[in-house]
Amino acid sequence: MDLSGKVAIVTGSGRGLGLAYATELARSGASIVVNDVDPAVADEAVRSLTEAGGTAVAEVVAVGTSEAAQALVDRAVEEFGRLDILVNNAGILRDTTLWKMSDDDFDAVITTHLRGTFTCTRAAAIRLREQGEGGRIICVGSPTGQVGNFGQTNYAAAKAGIVGMVRTWAMELARAEITVNAIVPVAATAMTETVPFLQPYVHALKAGEPLPPFARQQLGFGTPEDAAGLVAFLASDAAAGITGQAVGIGGDRLALWSHPSEVVVEFADGTGWSADAIAGVWPDTFAPSQQTVGQQLPEAPQ
């Protein structure tokens, strides 16, 4: 993917998946605005990109507010003269069950993930439309947002909302030739290393050991670098016809998620549906097609 002359903002790119995305975009020729809340982490990310031959600057700001979003866009334009690509990656976790989750736990995650994606995309869209040359907006979803996960009310709401916004923005920005897509990555990061069934594989990676095919394929789990190629692809001219999609990536697994759709439909005969009528039809017609919740993962080979 040749991104020479392109300028990209990658939020939350000081480490983990965000740094992997920024590294791959820089390797493909794009100039990068690195973003993190920690100045030392942001500066180290810039150093790693430039030492590898890339071009990068850091903008230290907490994603969420309109002011932070505008600061990122302004930095891109001031440093590099334009903006072409936005990757909305910044995120935090405040995991706990519903009955223990505080207002602050909920608001913090929604502010960074959902509001941050909204404010950054709005600021970028305004700039891209002014330039009149199209653009690429890549947002980050999660399997949790697609199917739910125990203890992640706030995160599930934010990630589901992001994919919903992506579908809307894809329509709104199509005329300006700005594509908007979501990626659904699974990788070894600080966010996944506490997941019990993934811990053996996280430990293996930390020890420098290769992951078994079961982890890389059936679980779709790998390194942050395994997910970076999808971002470079969606940022490129090769993906000009792709918009409004949610694409999964992880390990050796690449997948296209479906949009929600009706799986069973029945009609009443001009009278509407009473509670008794629904109770009568549900067991045989609807119950067999009830949807699962949470990720339905295969058992690891013994």
Could you give the residue numbers annotated as active site?
142, 155, 159
Strands 55-60 vs 31-36: parallel, antiparallel or unpaired: parallel
H-helix or E-strand containing 248? strand 246-250
2 SS3 class: coil
CB 7, CB 31: distance < 8 Å: yes
First to last CA, the chain: 40
Strand residues in 219-277 grouped as ranges (E): 246-250, 253-257
Quick one: residue 247, left, alpha or beta (phi over 0 = left, psi -120 to 50 = alpha)?
Answer: beta
Structure tokens at 28: 């493909």
Strands 178-185 vs 31-36: parallel, antiparallel or unpaired: unpaired
Q: How many helices (H) and strands (E) does the chain have?
A: 11, 8
CA dihedral 154, 115, 166, 176 (to 10 degrees): 180
Q: What is the C-alpha separation between 221 and 249, in angstroms, rounded? A: 8
Q: What is the C-alpha separation between 80 and 132, in angstroms, rounded? A: 17
